[in-house]
Structure 1
Amino acid sequence: MLLVVVAIASVQLGSSLAKDLYSAAGPLTVAWLRLLGAAVVLGVLTRPRLRGRSASDWFWVVAYGVCLAGMNVTFYLAIERIPIGMAVTLEFLGPLGVSVALSRRARDLLWVGLAAIGVALLGFSPGQLDPLGVFWALVAGALWAGYILLAGPAGRRWPGVSGVAVAFWVGLVGLTPVVWALDLFPVAVPAVWGIGLLIGLLSSAIPYGLEMVALRRIEPRIFGILMSLEPAAAALFALLLLGETLRPAEVVALACVVVASIGVVRSRRPAVDAPAVPPEQ
């Protein structure tokens, strides 16, 4: 359990550092640096076999990589406009939707209702969230759902984390022309490059390693419950490192989504527990 907690802390530390870096580099630039750092580290560690791969192998890993990169980019666009805790809360609706869709239990609709009530509160509270930021967070959630659904087919064709490493390279290659066309490559400042690459380690490479070890030691159900605490962890790190505070309605919305996520995970039958997929904020 400690490994999962450290992994969560690593991801959310990375998110707060990413937002703090916006004073020197925009969201797309930071996302590109994160993909670069993760791709290099995971590529060196896993050295995935590329030769002799079928068209099907490449189809699934490319789709996986597109979702992975899109999720990172849209999440970073979201936290530019809304608090990190709220971005993670809204993004978490994607995995929650996947869990409910795969559970096929009528009572899980109650948990969906609870999450919906929490999100609805955001629309009726004073000082509403930036609509564009909310939009990007919801898009990130949809891409996270796609990422989870693609993890199985991609993982069966690319063993271990080799598929994740290739997916990061796919995302990096796909995002590079956009960054080039918009002239958003990082400035020649060592600190920007260093922090950007560190974000790649904290938000991707380190959590993947820790979570792989943790999944060998604890039940997927327990793992899923711990991962459901991501929104709360995100809000806590953003408060400590960036001074971001949440309004009462936002705290209630966050709590509703967290409780709904825990409820869905706890209601799963052990026989159908699917391997949890590491978060990609």
Structure 2
Amino acid sequence: ASFWKLSILGLLLGLHFATFISSVKITTVINATVLVNTTPAITLIIYWAWSKEMPPITKLLGLSLCMSGIFLISMAEISFSSSSIIGDLMALIAAALWAAYLIIGKPIREKIDIISAMTPIYFVGCLVLMILSLMISGFKFPTQNQWAPLVGLAIFPTAIGHTLHFSSMKALRPYQTSVLALLEPVVATILAYFIFNEVPAPPFVIGAVIVLLGIFLIVRR
């Protein structure tokens, strides 16, 4: 894969992070999360139009279950208003950017090892975010208390999480990879139960089961 193709992926990744993080500041966290989780549906539509490959009916059923489950998990807290419309729109743009990242990245991942792919992608993505942050808010050096969370975010969800996510596309189609991200709220709530004794509401439990069933239908051979 050429450096330019990997640079495009880095640009898409950087813009995805920028739009999603900005959306969280403008709209509610739950709105931003639910809307960015429309990525599997957007990915499937674009992939279908791009490849002319009609997914099997079981995959479409699985996607429908996933979207229904996510809505059920979030319906008690999600709200839309005129004041949050810009943030909601930015979350949808973030979802579309992530979908494009996965679809363009699929053929590249099939031809190149993960380290050779992610190094330039992360470099360009960081460059994009640095330029945007300087343009929007100027230079701000992290405080002593901010370093640990920043390093943790850089290592675990980014360097490890996103790398594994991209790596999975060697064996999975883009819409299958994107739907695995819907495990995040489910796993986070399970961890919160054991670590913080936070008991999820019944709608969450039902929604989580529906999401897991949908993911099973999508990723199974």
What is the TM-score of this pair, normalised by structure 1? 0.54
Check whether the contact 2:69–2:207 (CA below 8 A) recurs between aligned residues: yes
8 A Cα contact 2:73 2:208, kept in partner? no
* Corresponding residue to 1:128 among 70, 73, 78: 78
Residue 159 of structure 2 is matched in structure 1 by 205
Q: Give the aligned partner of residue 181 of structure 1.
A: 135
- Per the alignment, do residues 127 and 164 of structure 1 end up closer, same or farther by CA in structure 2, a change over 3 Å counting? closer
* CA spacing shift, 1:208–1:119, aligned 2, 3 Å: closer
**Counterpart Cα distance in 2 of 1:147 and 1:64:** 6
Between the aligned residues of both structures, percent identity stands at 22
Deviation for aligned residue 1:82 = 3.9
Give the Cα separation in 1 of the matches to 2:207 and 2:214.
11
Residue identity opposite 1:179 in structure 2? S
Q: CA deviation at 1:136?
A: 4.0
Aligned partner (choices 130, 140, 144) of residue 98 of structure 2: 144
Distance, in Å, in 2 between the alignment partners of 1:252 and 1:143 is 30
Structure 1 segments unaligned to the other structure (5+ residues): 1-55, 269-281
Residues 108 and 150 of structure 1, relative CA distance in 2, 3 Å threshold: same
Aligned partner letter, 1:129? S
Equivalent in 146, 149, 167 of residue 121 of structure 2: 167
Alpha-carbon separation, structure 2, partners of 1:238 and 1:112: 26
- 2:67 counterpart of 1:113: no
Question: Quick check: 1:57–1:157 contact (8 Å CA) kept in 2?
Answer: no
Deviation, structure 1 residue 196: 1.2
1: CA distance, partners of 2:70 / 2:28: 14
CA deviation after TM superposition for structure 1 residue 202, in Å: 1.3
The 8 Å contact of residues 89 and 254 in structure 1, kept in 2 or not, is answered as no
CA distance in 2, matches of 1:246, 1:191: 31
The equivalent residue for 1:104 is 55
Q: How many residue pairs get matched?
A: 204
Structure 2 gaps, min length 5: none
- What RMSD, in angstroms, separates the aligned Cα atoms of the two structures? 4.2
Q: CA 1:188–1:203 in structure 2 vs 1: closer, same or farther (change >3 Å)?
A: closer
Deviates more, 1:143-152 or 1:188-197: 188-197
Partner of 2:13: 68
After TM superposition, the structure 1 = structure 2 runs for residues 229-244 of structure 1, keeping only pairs within 5 Å, are 229-237=183-191
Q: Is the 1:238–1:244 Cα contact (8 Å) retained in structure 2?
A: yes
| Map 1:233-272 → 2, pairs under 5 A | 233-237=187-191, 249=203, 252-266=206-220, 268=221
Instruction: Quote the offset at 1:220 in angstroms.
Output: 6.4
**Residue of structure 1 aligned with 2:144, choices 170, 175, 190:** 190
Distance 1:96 1:240, change over 3 A: farther
**1:116 Cα deviation after fit:** 4.2
- Alignment CA distance shift 1:119-1:229 (3 Å): closer
In terms of fraction of residues, the more helix-rich structure is 2
Amino acid at match of 1:58: F
Letter in 1 for 2:100: G
Instruction: Determine the C-alpha separation between the residues in 2 that align with 1:161 and 1:242.
Output: 36
